[in-house]
Structure 1
Amino acid sequence: MRSSWILSQLAALSCLAQASPLLPFGEQPYDSSVNHSEPVRGVNIGGWLVLEPYITPSLFERFRLSEDSDEGIPVDEYHFCAKLGLEAAEAVLKTHWDTFYMETDFKQIRAMGFNLVRIPVGYWAFSRLANDPYVSGVQEKYLDLAIGWAKKHNLKVWIDLHGAAGSQNGFDNSGLRDQINFLNYDENVEVTLRSIKYLLAKYSGEQFADTVTGIELLNEPLGPAIDMGKLKSAYLQPSYDYLRSTLQNNDQTIVIQDAFQPPHYWDSFINTSSANIIIDHHYYQVFSQGDLARGTPERVSVACGWGQSTLNEFHPSVAGEFSAALTDCAQWLNGVGIGSRYDGSFWKNGQGSYFIGTCEGDADIAEWSETRKQDTRRYLEAQIDSFERTGGWIIWCYKTESSIEWSTQLLAKYGMFPQPITSRQYLPQCS
Structure 2
Amino acid sequence: MLTVKIVAVISLIISACLAQPLPLSKRYFDYEGYKVRGVNIGGWFVLEPFITPSLFETFRTNDYNDDGIPVDEYHYCKTLGKDEARRRLTEHWDTWITEVDFAQMAAGGLNLVRIPIGYWAFELLEDDPYISGLQEAYLDKAIEWARKYDLKVWVDLHGAAGSQNGFDNSGFRDQIEFQEQQNLQVTKNVLTYILEKYSRDEFTDTVVGIEVLNEPLGPVIDMDGLKDLYDWAYDYLRNQLQRDQVLVIHDAFQSNNYFDDQLTVEEGAYGVLVDHHHYQVFSSGELARTIDEHVALVCEQGAGTLTESHWNLVGEWSAALTDCAKWLNGVGVQARYDGTFVKNSDTSYYIDSCDASQDASSWSSDRKDNYRKYIEAQLDAYEMKNGWIFWCYKTESTLEWDYTRLVQAGLFPQPLDDRQFPNQCANY
Q: Same fold (TM over 0.5)?
A: yes
The residue number in structure 2 matching 1:253 is 246
The residue number in structure 1 matching 2:39 is 43
Is structure 2 residue 218 aligned with structure 1 residue 197? no
How many Å separate the matches in 1 of 2:135 and 2:72?
17
The residue number in structure 2 matching 1:10 is 31
Partner deviation per Cα, 1:66-125 (whole Å, 9 max, x = no partner):
101011111000000000001100100010100010000000000000010000000000
1:4 offset after TM fit, Å?
9.2
> Which of 204, 210, 231 is matched with 1:237 structurally?
231
The residue number in structure 2 matching 1:265 is 258
Instruction: Classify the secondary structure of the residue corresponding to 1:345.
Output: coil
Is structure 2 residue 184 aligned with structure 1 residue 163? no
The residue number in structure 2 matching 1:429 is 424
How many Å separate the matches in 2 of 1:51 and 1:67?
23
1:8 offset after TM fit, Å?
5.0
Instruction: Classify the secondary structure of the residue corresponding to 1:135.
Output: coil
The residue number in structure 2 matching 1:116 is 112
The residue number in structure 2 matching 1:332 is 327
The residue number in structure 2 matching 1:315 is 310
Percent identity (aligned): 56
Give the counterpart letter for 2:70 in structure 1.
P
Q: Residues 9 and 40 of structure 1 are in contact (CA less than 8 Å); yes or no, is this contact kept in structure 2?
A: no
Q: Residues 167 and 174 of structure 1 are in contact (CA less than 8 Å); yes or no, is this contact kept in structure 2?
A: yes
Instruction: Classify the secondary structure of the residue corresponding to 1:428.
Output: coil
The residue number in structure 2 matching 1:275 is 270
The residue number in structure 1 matching 2:353 is 358
Structure 1 segment 372-387 matched on structure 2, within 5 A: 372-387=367-382
How many Å separate the matches in 2 of 1:11 and 1:60?
42
Instruction: Classify the secondary structure of the residue corresponding to 1:206.
Output: coil
How many Å separate the matches in 1 of 2:162 and 2:417?
41
1:246 offset after TM fit, Å?
1.4
How many Å separate the matches in 1 of 2:236 and 2:30?
25
Is structure 2 residue 240 aligned with structure 1 residue 219? no
> Which of 204, 223, 228 is matched with 1:228 structurally?
223
Structure 1 segment 381-420 matched on structure 2, within 5 A: 381-420=376-415
Q: Residues 122 and 133 of structure 2 are in contact (CA less than 8 Å); yes or no, is this contact kept in structure 1?
A: yes
Is structure 2 residue 168 aligned with structure 1 residue 172? yes
The residue number in structure 2 matching 1:76 is 72
How many Å separate the matches in 2 of 1:87 and 1:143?
21
Q: Residues 407 and 414 of structure 2 are in contact (CA less than 8 Å); yes or no, is this contact kept in structure 1?
A: yes
Quick one: structure 1 residues 415 and 377, their matched pair in 2 at CA, closer, same or farther if it must change by over 3 Å? Answer: same
How many Å separate the matches in 1 of 2:415 and 2:185?
45
The residue number in structure 2 matching 1:21 is none
The normalised TM-score by structure 1 is 0.91
Partner deviation per Cα, 1:131-189 (whole Å, 9 max, x = no partner):
00000000001101100100000000011000000000000000000011011x21100
Which residues of structure 1 form unaligned runs of 5+?
13-37
The residue number in structure 2 matching 1:291 is 286
1:9 offset after TM fit, Å?
4.2
Quick one: structure 1 residues 395 and 4, their matched pair in 2 at CA, closer, same or farther if it must change by over 3 Å? Answer: farther
Q: Residues 307 and 390 of structure 1 are in contact (CA less than 8 Å); yes or no, is this contact kept in structure 2?
A: yes
The residue number in structure 1 matching 2:121 is 125
How many Å separate the matches in 2 of 1:177 and 1:142?
25
The residue number in structure 1 matching 2:94 is 98
Give the counterpart letter for 1:348 in structure 2.
K
The normalised TM-score by structure 2 is 0.92
Quick one: structure 1 residues 373 and 4, their matched pair in 2 at CA, closer, same or farther if it must change by over 3 Å? Answer: farther
Partner deviation per Cα, 1:303-333 (whole Å, 9 max, x = no partner):
0000111101011101000001110000000
Instruction: Classify the secondary structure of the residue corresponding to 1:375.
Output: helix
Give the counterpart letter for 1:260 in structure 2.
F
1:362 offset after TM fit, Å?
2.3
Quick one: structure 1 residues 46 and 102, their matched pair in 2 at CA, closer, same or farther if it must change by over 3 Å? Answer: same
How many Å separate the matches in 1 of 2:343 and 2:27?
39
Q: Residues 360 and 368 of structure 2 are in contact (CA less than 8 Å); yes or no, is this contact kept in structure 1?
A: no
Structure with larger RCO (C-alpha < 8 A, sep 6+): 1
1:294 offset after TM fit, Å?
0.5
Q: Greater CA radius of gyration, 1 or 2?
A: 2
Instruction: Classify the secondary structure of the residue corresponding to 2:331.
Output: coil
How many Å separate the matches in 2 of 1:6 and 1:296?
42
Quick one: structure 1 residues 293 and 199, their matched pair in 2 at CA, closer, same or farther if it must change by over 3 Å? Answer: same
Give the counterpart letter for 1:242 in structure 2.
Y
Q: Residues 382 and 388 of structure 2 are in contact (CA less than 8 Å); yes or no, is this contact kept in structure 1?
A: yes
